[in-house]
Amino acid sequence: MNLSLTVNGEPRQIVLDDPRVTLLDLLRERMHLTGSKKGCDRGQCGACTVLVDGRRVNSCLTLAVSLDGASVTTIEGLADGDRLHPVQQAFIDHDGFQCGFCTPGQIMSAVGLILEGEAGDDPERVREAMSGNICRCGAYKGITEAVIDAAAKIASDKQRDAA
């Protein structure tokens, strides 16, 4: 099966031998993009979260073959060279990680949340919207603060650019 994807802005032509290959396995094993983690492999922990056409998905539950023509963004595709994405920087600034295993999925979920217009300045709302991403270390306070901070920065940057 032939599959056309744009991964982190780069067009890719992929031949799949097995239609049961998940997006997570394709990214990690074939494309060597190992930032997305295989946590529970059941879509319950969010460690595998990536963006498909700007929307958050659990890549462990998504069949790669179903994404022909889609645009996929992984944690490796967020930074602009050495310049971190505002969400990545906010996670550092607010200590939104401890062991780091869940961090790529948390960051990708936060980026999706902001793109969806669902992040605001209400910590409870952010926690609810991020509830599909589990942090076993309990860094939720830093994660929530990072999402709120990054959402405000991105909104401010958009307003500045529009003016």
Q: 3-class secondary structure for 98-121?
A: CCCCCHHHHHHHHHHHHHCCCCCC
- Could you tell me the pTM of the whole model? 0.93
Q: Are residues 71 and 7 in the same domain?
A: yes
pLDDT score of 8 more than 90: yes
Q: Are residues 9 and 71 in the same domain?
A: yes
Mean pLDDT across the stretch 140-144?
95
pLDDT at 30: 96
90 near 106, Cβ under 8 Å?
no
Task: Give CA torsion, residues 137, 142, 143, 146, to 10 deg.
Answer: -160
Q: Widest CA span of the chain, in angstroms? A: 50
pLDDT at 159: 86
Q: Secondary structure of the chain: what % helix, strand, coil (to 5)?
A: 40, 15, 45
pLDDT score of 11 more than 90: yes
Instruction: Let me know how long the chain is.
Output: 163
Q: Are residues 114 and 70 in the same domain?
A: no
pLDDT at 57: 97
pLDDT digits (tens, 9 = 90+) for 25-80: 999 999 999 999 999 999 999 999 999 999 999 999 999 999 999 999 999 999 99
CATH number, domain with residue 38: 3.10.20.30
Q: Are residues 91 and 125 in the same domain?
A: yes
pLDDT digits (tens, 9 = 90+) for 82-137: 999 999 999 999 999 889 999 999 999 999 999 998 888 899 999 999 999 999 99
pLDDT at 46: 96
Residue 47: inside a domain? yes
pLDDT score of 9 more than 90: yes
pLDDT score of 157 more than 90: no
Per-residue pLDDT band at 81 (split at 50, 70, 90):
very high
Scored b (16 or more CB within 10 A) or e, 51-65 reads bbeeebbbbbebebb
Half-sphere exposure of 102 (CA within 13 A, CB side): 23
Q: Are residues 91 and 48 in the same domain?
A: no
DSSP tag of 79: S
Q: H or E stretch including 49?
A: strand 49-52
pLDDT at 22: 98
pLDDT at 5: 98
